[in-house]
Homo-oligomer: A and B are copies of this chain.
Amino acid sequence: MPKSPERCQEIRQEMRSKILHESMLYFAKNGFSGTKISDLSQYIGIAQGTIYVYFQSKEDLFQEIFSIVNNHQDINDMKCLTYLPISAKQKILQLSHSLMQRLEQDESYAAKITLNTQMMFEKNDFRSRDTTYQSELYKYVAKIIKQGQKEKTVVTGSAMKLADYYWGVIYLYALKKLFTTKYEMISANDLARILLKDETKKGSEI
Contact surface of A with B, Cβ cutoff 8 Å: 2, 31-34, 47, 121-123, 155, 157-158, 160-162, 164-165, 168-169, 171-173, 175-176, 179-181, 184, 186-187, 190, 193-194, 197-198, 200-201
Contacts of A162 in B (CB 8 A): 190
Q: A190: which B residues are within 8 A, CB to CB?
A: 155, 157, 162, 165, 194
Chain B residue with Cβ nearest A35: B33
Tell which of B34, B165, B184 touches A33, judged by Cβ atoms closer than 8 Å: B34
8 pairs of A and B residues whose beta carbons are closest in the complex: A198-B198, A121-B179, A33-B34, A33-B33, A168-B172, A161-B184, A164-B184, A172-B172
Report the Cα distance A110→B190, complex, angstroms: 25
Task: Count this chain's copies in the assembly.
Answer: 4
14 A–B contact pairs at CB < 8 A? Answer: A2-B47, A31-B34, A33-B33, A121-B179, A121-B180, A123-B181, A155-B193, A158-B184, A162-B190, A165-B186, A168-B169, A168-B173, A172-B172, A198-B200
Contact, CB under 8 Å: B161 / A168: no
Q: How far is the CB of A58 from chain B (nearest CB, A)?
A: 13
| Interchain nearest-CB distance for A170 vs B (Å) | 10
Chain B residues lying within 8 Å of A168, measured Cβ to Cβ, are 169, 172-173, 176
The distance from the CB of A26 to the nearest CB of chain B, in whole angstroms, is: 13
